[in-house]
Amino acid sequence: MYARIKSAVGGASAIGFLSMLMLLILAMVTTAHADNPRYAGIVVDLDNGEVLYAENIDDQRYPASLTKMMTLYLTFEALEEGTLRLDQPLPVSRLCGRQARC
């Protein structure tokens, strides 16, 4: 996946993008699910393989949301194909825009 991100956004930008993404995930996991045995998470430094954060990593878990995973996959695929750019606005429907969460 790192190769896809790197080719989609460029070398140094990919590292920055991944770093920000991992920090966001880490912040969400630690604030919303701190010390809760129902949740698991791991953050690994892609450059050296160092585990930066680990919680319940050996316990079996089901994915939180297949929809979210597919959204990420399709986003990276579109970036790789050039049909999506990181600096382009993404349109949303009026219904989606009126809802608290979409």
pLDDT by residue for the chain (102 residues), tens only, comes to: 545 555 555 555 666 677 677 777 766 655 555 566 677 788 898 889 899 998 888 887 666 677 788 888 888 999 999 998 989 988 888 888 788 765
Stated as kind and residue range, the H or E segment containing 49 is none
- In terms of C-beta density within 10 A (0-12 exposed, 13-18 middle, 19 or more buried), how is residue 15 classed? middle
CA dist 75 and 89 (Å) reads: 13
Cα–Cα distance measured from residue 84 to residue 76, given in angstroms and rounded to the nearest whole number = 9
Output the six-digit token pair for 94.
């009026």
CA-to-CA separations, 46 to 1, 31, 91, in angstroms, rounded? 11, 23, 32
